[in-house]
Amino acid sequence: MKKSKTNRIKISQCMIVKNEEKNIRRALSWGRGIVSEQIVVDTGSTDRTVEIAEEMGAKVYHFKWINDFSAAKNYAIEQAGGDWIAFLDADEYFSKESAKKLIPLIRQIEDIQQNEKKVYVITSRLVNIGEDGKIGAVGHQDRIFRRDSRLKYHNKIHEVLKFSDYTSYNGFDAREDLVIIHTGYTKEAYEETGKTQRNIELLEKELLVDRDNVETLAYLGDAYMAEGKQEEAKKYFYRAMECGEEKGERIHTIRSVAMLIILYTRKFDIQQEEIVRELYQKTVKMQTDHPDSEGYFGAWLYQKKEYAEAKGHLEAALEKMKRYNGLLPVYMSVDLKVFYMQLADCCSHLDNRDEAVRYAVMALGVDKYYTYPLIMLMNLLKGEQGEAETAAGTWDILSQLYNVSSLKDQMTILKGAMLTAFPALEKRVFDAMPEGQRRAVQEAIHKKAEEMRAHAKSPEKAD
C-alpha cells in the first residue's frame, strides 16, 4: 500500500552554536530517532563542540559571526531539507515525553488542516531551569515551523519568525503537549558565555537605529537585570513602559511594569510606596490577566506588613496564574514557594490557623527543604491540643510531605523540631531511625551541644 504524505513527515533539527561542548551532546540526543537530519551551524567555536557534533552524526556547517542571530539561523534553515524545522538552541532540549509527541502532533496538524487554514508554526511551552534544578520562569516559544522560503528569522537579537512580506500566518498552540527545557539562563551559564554583555552591546546598537523601540528597551532592561544592575534595568523598563503606553503596545508595556514592581519588591523601601502603587494601578487600567504585577505587588505589601491587603493580592495572583494562558513568561513561578510562605504568614497574623497550615504545606509541596514554612508549620501544629505531648497529627502531615525513612528528610524534620522546641516530634524522628543510626545522630548532636556550651563559657579573645 502506498504511504500517504502525512506518514512521510521529515523534520530537520537545526541549531547555531559557539563553544557549547557542555551542552551539544544533550542538545542533539533528544532528536535522535525522531528527526530526519541534524544541522549544526558553528559560528566560531574554539572547544570540542564541532568534534562532538560530528561524532554524533550531525551535519556541521560554518558561518562567520556578524553579530546577527537571524542571519546565522536563516543560513541554518537554508541547509535543511525537511518538511518541518525544529530550531532549538544548544542549551535547550525537548523532554522525552514531548519528543515522542512531535511527529504524531505534526501528522495530526497535516491531517486536520485539509479543510482549514494551513498551519505554519507550532508554539511550545518553554520552562527555564535554575541553578538548583528547579523550575523558573515559564513562557512559550515558536520553535517548530514549516520549511517555507518566505518564513525567516528577523532582528539581530531576540529574533522572531516572520513571513518576508510581514503577512500573518496560522499557528497551532501545543503548549500542553510540547515542553522545551532551557538551562542557559543560570548564573553559571551567563558567566561562562558572557551572554548578557553580548546582548547589551547588540541591543544598544539596535537602539541607535530605533531609539523608542519598546521591545528593544524591555530586553535591555532584562539584560541589565541579569547583570545585577538594577538601576540601569529600571531606567530601560521605564522607557519601555512610557514608549509602550504612547504607542499602544500592550505586551511589553505590561511586562515592563511587572518587572519594575519585581525590582522594587527585591529592594524594599517604604518611601517608594507611592511609586509602587502607581505602577500597580497601571496594570489595573490595562485589565491584564497576567499574574506577575498582582503577585509582586502583594509581596511588596507583605514586606510592609499590610497582611490583609497583601493576602488579597497574593491570592488573586495565584488565581490569575492558574488561568493564565497568554504569551508572556510568568516569573511568579520562580518564587512560588515564597508566595505560599508569605500567604501562610499573612494568615497566621490574621489568626486564620487552618489557611496558614494549608499554605505552609503548599510551600513545602514546592520545596520540602524550605526552612521558613517548615518552622511555621511546626509552630502552628504544636499549638493544637495534645500535639506538644504526642506530635501525632504533626507526624501524620509530615509523613505525607517527606520520606520519613530517608536520612536527609529525617534530619530536615529533626532540625525543625529542635528549632521549634518540639521534643515530642524529635522523639518521633528518632523512633523512625534504625538503632545504629539513631545513636550516631544523638551522639553527634550531643557533641555539637557540648562544643557550643564550651565556646559560650570561654572568655572573649582580645582584638
8-state DSSP, 67: S
pLDDT of 431 strictly over 70? yes
Start-to-end C-alpha separation, the chain: 91
Report pLDDT digits (tens) over 370-407.
999 999 999 999 999 999 999 999 999 999 999 999 99
What's the rounded Cα separation, in Å, for the pair 266 and 299?
9
The fraction of the chain above a pLDDT of 70, given in percent, is: 93
What is the pLDDT confidence band of residue 453, given thresholds at 50, 70 and 90? confident
User: Do residues 208 and 339 both lie within one domain?
Assistant: yes
Decide: helix, strand or coil at residue 190. Answer: helix
CATH number at residue 16: 3.90.550.10
pLDDT of 6 strictly over 60? no
Q: What residues does 191 pair with on adjacent strands?
A: none
What is the pLDDT confidence band of residue 106, given thresholds at 50, 70 and 90? very high
User: Do residues 338 and 274 both lie within one domain?
Assistant: yes
Cell of 463: 582584638
Report pLDDT digits (tens) over 248-281.
999 999 999 999 999 999 999 999 999 999 999 9
| Inside any domain, residue 456 | no
pLDDT of 333 strictly over 60? yes
CATH number at residue 234: 1.25.40.10
pLDDT score recorded for residue 140: 87
What's the rounded Cα separation, in Å, for the pair 236 and 238?
5
- In this structure, are residues 388 and 379 in contact, taking their beta carbons and an 8 Å threshold? no
Least confident interval from 74-78, 154-158, 458-462: 458-462
pLDDT of 417 strictly over 90? yes
User: Do residues 110 and 202 both lie within one domain?
Assistant: no
Domain encompassing residue 155? 5-187
Report pLDDT digits (tens) over 18-48.
999 999 999 999 999 999 999 999 999 999 9
User: Do residues 215 and 164 both lie within one domain?
Assistant: no
Least confident interval from 61-75, 152-166, 296-310: 152-166
| Inside any domain, residue 463 | no
- In this structure, are residues 407 and 440 in contact, taking their beta carbons and an 8 Å threshold? no
pLDDT of 5 strictly over 50? no
Taking residue 89's Cβ as centre, other Cβ atoms within 10 Å add up to: 20
In which residue are the cell numbers 514531548 written?
98
DSSP one-letter string for 25-47: HHHHHTTTTTSSEEEEEES---S
Residue 120 parent element (H or E) = strand 119-129
Mean pLDDT score, 198-221: 92
Cell of 358: 494549608
- Backbone CA torsion sign across 164, 170, 175, 179: negative
pLDDT score recorded for residue 129: 83
pTM of the model: 0.82
User: Do residues 97 and 32 both lie within one domain?
Assistant: yes
- In this structure, are residues 72 and 43 in contact, taking their beta carbons and an 8 Å threshold? yes
Number of domains, the chain: 3
User: Do residues 69 and 209 both lie within one domain?
Assistant: no
User: Do residues 59 and 78 both lie within one domain?
Assistant: yes
User: Do residues 84 and 151 both lie within one domain?
Assistant: yes
What is the pLDDT confidence band of residue 191, given thresholds at 50, 70 and 90? low
Cβ neighbors of 126 (< 8 A, separation 6 or more) are 92, 138, 139, 140, 141, 179, 180, 182, 329
Distance of CA 204 to the CA centre of its chain: 26
Distance of CA 269 to the CA centre of its chain: 26
| Domain boundary residue, one of 187, 214, 233 | 187
In which residue are the cell numbers 519568525 written?
161
Between 329 and 293, the more confident residue is 293
pLDDT score recorded for residue 463: 41
User: Do residues 172 and 76 both lie within one domain?
Assistant: yes
User: Do residues 245 and 321 both lie within one domain?
Assistant: yes
pLDDT score recorded for residue 3: 41
